[in-house]
């Protein structure tokens, strides 16, 4: 699944601190630790990765097989077909997850961070700007990120709905209550977001470990009864299935891909846990449990074909249904929580990279910077999730909408990975094509199969992704037009200061900080202040914030001070797209650069831009109006940069686009 960026660091912090009294990921960054401490840290982070990274792919057995053999696909439930399908699932997990993501894509880290936004930034950094390749990769990366939002709506809906559907297996009389109960669970989940996950996050790993152990145990029980299902480990069954069924097999690929949803989470969460814990968790827990359970469900269907109505809940008999409903609901809530947290994280990155307007971001933890809550995104996503649950009504119907977003993101990741391997790592083009071409062919086959479901629900995530893509590109282009307008009327700063101090205005005590855009001239706020107040502070700081194409900037590299004379300074601050944009915290570190700030003696002058749509060049009128509306509702700069509101002076300016 696209970029499952679960910002739940409190969990692994808890385990690491409790077990080995070390900072998270310390052993991954070369700390001088004992072997015992390293093992303890690895165990803690591996358990954390099980709880956060594998929630989505771990809950796929709830609905995958019953969807593959749905009557609409026209695939008969025979022994040969069953062996072929299980073989495709097991070898798909091996090729797509183990080889592509765990072996190859995890190597393409952006300063230790993963996810499609980080991968896009890494790929773009190795290409000349502007160029066709640069623009093309930008569109691919942004579209992949936009699809994530559609994906993040389907995941909570299908996961929780498929878990609650177990009640139908217990007694058909409960069928009318499945959708209402699903809605209740989802509303409670989203309503709890503002409180953070510090309290329950510590249980994610143990609960998901219990879930995977249950998957493995159920699989073993059924495999023992029909051991011939182990023949599915032979890939020839998958080849025969495709050759014999042809079109029907091609259509079935659209449902088989459901077994791989959540693969993107391995890469997206790399920055939280590191490569080693994610790999250990996959090869020792998640992969064996998933393979055993899929083969166990296959063995069950060999013995009892009638169980195809819901093979997951019939693996152990009627006595196990209610306990499984409880456990699967907990597991799907955890998977959904990871998706919601990932949505907040992705949005925060998109804002930093200039693809979305500034929004209100609340921190739900006093100790973990990554624990954030975005009210607007939270409630918009809940509304979309509830529409999906009510509109589609069942996990089978939602499955048709699920695959196309997942496979499109997989394709985008493969293309971006090629450019990283070729242009960043400078490997031979033959090696690059061989390394990514095979995975591209596999992804393209799954994507093509899902395109057939476009009119059966596949349009839903594409429509949401397309709408988000339009919003993101409109905001990016609109900001470029605003910047071009400001540049056209900009007054060079150095020349202005030189002329200003020929006959300087009266200087008043204190420090004035003027926020100044990159490569901008004299800030409009300064011009307005001089025009109306006729004074200038005894110390003037021109503050420019640069957002870099890497996730983190070390604190020692964030600050650059340039003296302009007459107690005027240019202060350049560099943030990574995952850094916390906390200006007061940066100012506190400026003492090492010769600047000491006392907040009660410091005033921040900010120009509030009022964007006006004007006829002529630019975007289409409706896009300009969309940009104007977003600009007016964007979070103000002072709030975004954590500047105390009682130290801010805003001066208005109009900008035409």
What digits encode the pLDDT tens for the residues 295-317? 999 999 999 999 999 999 999 98
pLDDT at 21: 34
Task: For the chain, give the longest Cα–Cα distance.
Answer: 95
Best CA proximity match to 473, nearest among 127, 145, 116, 121? 145
Whole-angstrom CA distances from 519 to 587, 593, 637 are 21, 22, 18
**How far is residue 67's CA from residue 398's CA, in Å, rounded to a whole number?**
10
Letter string b/e over residues 172-189, b meaning 16 or more CB atoms within 10 A of that residue's CB: eeeeeebbebbbebbeeb
Best CA proximity match to 86, nearest among 281, 284, 226? 226
CB 472 within 8 A of CB 350: yes
The first and second tokens of residue 505, run together, are 């205005």
Whole-angstrom CA distances from 510 to 56, 447, 527, 592, 599 are 54, 61, 18, 20, 10
pLDDT at 13: 39
Q: Which H helix or E strand runs over 187?
A: helix 178-191
For 233-324, where are the E strands, in sequence order? none
CA angle 267, 371, 377 (to 5 degrees): 85
Best CA proximity match to 204, nearest among 110, 272, 117, 287? 272
The residue written with tokens 């009119």 in the block is: 455
Best CA proximity match to 158, nearest among 336, 284, 316, 380? 336
Could you give the dihedral angle defined by the CA atoms of residues 524, 528, 531 and 537, in that order, rounded to the nearest 10 degrees?
-90
Helix pair 459-488, 395-419: axis angle to 10 deg: 40
Burial label for 635, CB within 10 Å (0-12, 13-18, 19+), is: middle
**How far is residue 337's CA from residue 208's CA, in Å, rounded to a whole number?**
13
CA angle 193, 194, 199 (to 5 degrees): 70
CA angle 407, 408, 411 (to 5 degrees): 85
**How far is residue 447's CA from residue 508's CA, in Å, rounded to a whole number?**
65
**How far is residue 202's CA from residue 191's CA, in Å, rounded to a whole number?**
19
pLDDT at 570: 96
Q: Which H helix or E strand runs over 295?
A: helix 287-303
**How far is residue 185's CA from residue 192's CA, in Å, rounded to a whole number?**
11
Beta bridge pairs of residue 299: none
| Residue 104 DSSP one-character state | I
**How far is residue 247's CA from residue 237's CA, in Å, rounded to a whole number?**
17
pLDDT at 599: 92
Whole-angstrom CA distances from 513 to 516, 547, 601 are 9, 19, 11
Q: Taking the model in full, what pTM does it have?
A: 0.82
The first and second tokens of residue 13, run together, are 């912090």
- DSSP helix/strand/coil, 155: helix
Intervals of the chain under pLDDT 50 = 1-33
- Strand 602-612 and strand 648-656: the pairing is parallel
pLDDT at 567: 95
**How far is residue 414's CA from residue 327's CA, in Å, rounded to a whole number?**
34
Helix pair 132-164, 395-419: axis angle to 10 deg: 150
Q: Which H helix or E strand runs over 606?
A: strand 602-612
The string of DSSP letters for 75-123 reads ----HHHHHHHHHHHHHHIIIIIIIIIIIIGGG--BTTB-SHHHHHHHH
**How far is residue 537's CA from residue 535's CA, in Å, rounded to a whole number?**
7
**How far is residue 586's CA from residue 541's CA, in Å, rounded to a whole number?**
13
- DSSP helix/strand/coil, 125: coil
């Amino acid at each position: 699944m696209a970029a499952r960026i679960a910002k739940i660091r409190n969990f692994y912090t808890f385990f690491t601190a409790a077990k080995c009294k070390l900072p998270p990921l310390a052993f991954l960054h070369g700390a001088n630790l004992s072997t015992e401490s390293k093992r303890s840290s690895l165990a803690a982070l591996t358990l954390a990765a099980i709880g956060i990274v594998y929630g989505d792919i771990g809950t796929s057995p709830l609905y995958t097989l019953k969807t593959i053999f749905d009557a609409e696909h026209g695939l008969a439930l025979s022994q040969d077909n069953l062996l072929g399908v299980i073989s495709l699932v097991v070898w798909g997990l091996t090729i797509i997850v183990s080889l592509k993501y765990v072996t190859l894509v995890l190597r393409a880290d952006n300063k230790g961070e993963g996810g499609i936004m980080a991968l896009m930034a890494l790929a773009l950094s190795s290409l000349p700007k502007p160029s066709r390749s640069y623009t093309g990769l930008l569109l691919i990366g942004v579209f992949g990120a936009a699809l994530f939002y559609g994906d993040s709506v389907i995941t909570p809906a299908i996961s929780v709905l498929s878990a609650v559907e177990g009640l139908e297996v217990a007694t058909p009389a409960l069928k009318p209550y499945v959708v209402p109960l699903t809605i209740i669970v989802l509303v409670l989940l989203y309503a709890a977001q503002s409180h953070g996950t510090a309290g329950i996050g510590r249980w994610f790993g143990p609960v998901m470990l219990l879930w995977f152990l249950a998957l493995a145990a159920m699989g073993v029980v059924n495999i023992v009864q029909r051991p011939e299902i182990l023949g599915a480990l032979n890939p020839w069954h998958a080849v025969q299935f495709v050759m014999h069924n042809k079109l029907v097999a091609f259509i079935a690929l659209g449902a088989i891909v459901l077994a791989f949803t959540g693969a993107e989470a391995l890469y997206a969460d790399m920055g939280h846990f590191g490569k080693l814990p994610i790999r250990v968790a996959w090869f020792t827990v998640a992969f064996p449990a998933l393979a055993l359970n899929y083969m166990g469900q296959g063995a069950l269907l060999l013995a009892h074909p009638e169980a195809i109505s819901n093979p997951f809940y019939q693996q152990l008999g009627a006595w196990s249904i209610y306990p499984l409903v409880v456990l699967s609901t907990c597991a799907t809530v955890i998977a959904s929580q990871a998706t919601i947290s990932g949505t907040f994280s992705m949005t925060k990155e998109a804002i930093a990279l200039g693809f979305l307007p500034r929004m209100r971001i609340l921190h739900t933890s006093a100790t973990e910077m990554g624990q954030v809550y975005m009210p607007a995104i939270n409630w918009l996503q809940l509304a979309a999730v509830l529409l999906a649950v009510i509109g589609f009504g069942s996990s089978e119907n939602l499955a048709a909408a699920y695959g196309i977003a997942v496979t499109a993101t997989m394709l985008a990741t493969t293309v971006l990975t090629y450019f990283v391997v070729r242009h960043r790592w400078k490997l031979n083009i033959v090696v690059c094509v061989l390394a990514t071409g095979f995975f591209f062919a596999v992804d393209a086959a799954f994507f093509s199969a899902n395109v057939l479901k476009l009119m059966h629900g596949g349009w839903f995530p594409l429509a949401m992704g397309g709408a988000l893509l339009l919003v993101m590109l409109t905001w990016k282009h609109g900001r470029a037009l605003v910047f071009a307008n400001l540049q056209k009327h900009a007054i060079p700063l150095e020349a202005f200061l030189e002329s200003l101090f020929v006959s300087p205005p009266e200087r008043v005590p204190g420090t004035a900080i003027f926020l100044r855009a990159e490569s901008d001239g004299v800030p409009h706020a300064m011009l307005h202040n001089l025009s109306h107040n006729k004074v200038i502070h005894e110390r003037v700081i021109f503050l420019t914030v640069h957002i870099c194409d890497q996730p983190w900037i070390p604190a020692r590299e964030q600050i650059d001070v340039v003296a302009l004379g007459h107690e005027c300074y240019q202060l350049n601050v560099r943030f990574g797209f995952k850094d916390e944009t906390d200006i007061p915290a940066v100012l506190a570190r400026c003492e090492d650069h010769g600047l000491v700030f006392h907040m009660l003696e410091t005033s921040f002058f900010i120009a509030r831009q009022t964007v006006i749509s004007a006829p002529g060049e630019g975007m289409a009128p409706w896009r300009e109006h969309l940009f104007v509306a977003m600009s007016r509702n964007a979070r103000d700069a002072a709030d975004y940069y954590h500047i105390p509101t009682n130290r801010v002076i805003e001066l208005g300016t109009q900008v035409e686009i």
